[in-house]
């Protein structure tokens, strides 16, 4: 059965009475002299859209001859510094830096790579690829190739091409072909042909894939997620499920990621921050609604139970919670 597009809403929008010069001056004065007025800084930046924050940064440098990010780093540290940097970093560069962080050092944070590459549009992927090469003087594909191996490597590199059809057309003959191809590559085969899954999941548009998932269940009697869980394992399973779940209902995917970030011992503050910042102007309001529906508690109450201080206050502002 065809699904309707889920209406999505962000929590951060453009400030109507915005004045970049007034904001830049207020941020500067909050860091001038002894002590720092952190509340003024995050109170301004968390209530402005990304485009408006960029205007503030430009006016700040023009009026005061210094970089707003560098000045913030000289006055503020810890998680508050991290969230303020995220707010002032261009989205593509922020994604690029997060990907680089995920592959730095001895280990690799595959979950971060999966979350970003599985949920960005073609345009966003191409922009982050360019930003990565400019920032780190290395091709992102080559970095992933050297850091990841096996089928996960192939899947992530396929996603990295940003070649998914985005025109929204649905060809029912192709839908049936794709569903049967996935069934032949899994349930009807000894072993699994991961290549078929990679091809379909990385090339087809969302509406087409919705139909494929319905057709697959019709002919196999199983949800596609169930088949992936049965046929795949480890991070490849995680990556393919991320694509399927984000296509079926993107806000639900991110609600689940937030839930995972705050469960267990310690809080994954970096993931929590990344999702809230990146989705604040896209669908964070919808994520909040889905979160409460799925887990029977508000996102606010969960965040308040896991983080505190100015970091908490900034995240709540970004979530539209005054």
- Residue 165 is assigned to a structural domain of this protein: no
Residue 320 located in a structural domain:
no
Q: What is the pTM of this model?
A: 0.93
Same domain, 261 and 302: yes
Same domain assignment for residues 192 and 152: no
Confidence of residue 6 (pLDDT cuts 50, 70, 90): low
CATH number of the domain bearing residue 44: 1.10.220.10
The verdict on 181 and 198 lying in the same domain is yes
Quick one: 95 and 153 in the same domain?
A: yes
The residue-averaged pLDDT of 113-120 equals 97
Question: Can you tell me the mean pLDDT for 173-186?
Answer: 94
- Same domain assignment for residues 101 and 153: yes
78, HSE (Cβ side, Cα atoms, 13 Å): 8
Contact 132, 140 (CB under 8 A): yes
Instruction: Kindly state whether residues 73 and 111 are assigned to the same domain.
Output: no
The DSSP code sequence of 291-307 is HHHHHSS-HHHHHHTT-
Which of 201, 232, 263 is the last residue before a domain boundary?
Answer: 232
Say if 81 falls within a structural domain.
yes
Buried b (16+ CB within 10 A) or exposed e, 290-321: bbbeeeeeebbebbeebbeebbbbbbbbbbbe
The span from the CA of 161 to the CA of 144, in Å, is 12
Q: Give residue 7's pLDDT band: very low, low, confident or very high (50, 70, 90).
A: low
In sign, the C-alpha dihedral spanning 127, 130, 135, 141 is: positive
* Domain encompassing residue 198: 172-232
Q: Has residue 80 been placed in a domain? A: yes
In a domain, 316, yes or no: no
The pLDDT assigned to 34 comes to 83
Phi-psi bin for 162: left (phi > 0), alpha (psi -120 to 50), beta?
left
> Is the confidence at residue 4, as pLDDT, over 70?
no
Tally of CB atoms within 10 A around 44: 20
Residue 180: inside a domain, yes or no?
A: yes
Q: Report how many domains make up the chain.
A: 4
Rounded to 5 degrees, what are φ and ψ at 21? -65, -40
- Which are the contacts of 196, defined by CB distance < 8 A and separation ≥ 6? 181, 182, 184, 185
Q: Within a domain: residue 14?
A: no
Mean pLDDT of the chain, nearest integer:
94
Identify whether residues 123 and 180 lie together within a single domain.
no
- Pure H helices in the chain: 20-31, 38-45, 50-64, 68-75, 78-88, 91-103, 110-119, 122-136, 140-147, 150-160, 172-184, 194-203, 206-220, 224-231, 234-262, 269-279, 284-295, 299-304, 309-318
For the chain, what percent of residues have pLDDT higher than 90? 89
Asked if residue 318 is part of any domain, the answer here is no
Residues 73 and 120 in one domain: no
From 282, 300, 304, select the one nearest 291 (Cα to Cα).
300
Biggest distance spanned by C-alpha atoms of the chain: 71
Contacts of 216 (CB under 8 A, 6+ apart): 179, 182, 183, 222, 223, 224, 227
Which of 88, 116, 133 delimits the end of a domain? 88
């Amino acid at each position: 059965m065809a699904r309707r597009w889920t209406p999505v809403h962000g929590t951060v929008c453009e400030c109507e009475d915005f004045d970049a010069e007034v904001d830049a001056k207020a941020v500067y004065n909050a860091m001038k002299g002894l002590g720092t007025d952190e509340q003024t800084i995050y109170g301004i930046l968390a209530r402005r859209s990304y485009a408006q924050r960029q205007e503030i940064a430009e006016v700040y440098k023009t009026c005061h001859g210094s970089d707003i990010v560098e000045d913030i780093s000289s006055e503020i540290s810890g998680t508050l510094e991290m969230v303020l940097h995220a707010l002032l970093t261009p989205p593509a560069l922020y994604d690029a830096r997060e990907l680089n962080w995920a592959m730095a050092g001895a280990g690799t944070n595959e979950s971060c790579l999966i979350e970003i590459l599985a949920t960005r549009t073609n345009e966003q992927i191409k922009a982050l690829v360019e930003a990565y090469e400019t920032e780190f003087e290395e091709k992102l594909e080559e970095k992933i190739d050297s850091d990841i191996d096996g089928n996960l490597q192939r899947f992530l590199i396929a996603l990295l091409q940003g070649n998914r059809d985005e025109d929204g057309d649905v060809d029912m003959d192709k839908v049936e072909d794709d569903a049967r191809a996935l069934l032949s590559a899994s349930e009807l085969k000894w072993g699994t042909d991961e290549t078929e899954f990679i091809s379909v999941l990385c090339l087809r548009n969302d509406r087409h894939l919705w139909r494929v998932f319905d057709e697959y269940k019709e002919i196999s009697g199983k949800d596609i997620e169930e088949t992936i869980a049965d046929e795949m394992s480890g991070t490849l399973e995680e990556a393919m499920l991320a694509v399927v779940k984000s296509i079926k209902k993107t806000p639900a995917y991110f609600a689940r990621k937030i839930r995972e970030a705050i469960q267990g011992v310690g809080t994954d503050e970096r993931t929590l921050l990344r999702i809230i910042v990146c989705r604040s102007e896209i669908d964070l309001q919808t994520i909040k609604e889905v979160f409460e529906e799925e887990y029977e508690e508000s996102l606010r109450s969960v965040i308040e139970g896991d983080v505190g201080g100015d970091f908490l206050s900034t995240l709540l502002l970004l979530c539209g919670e005054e």
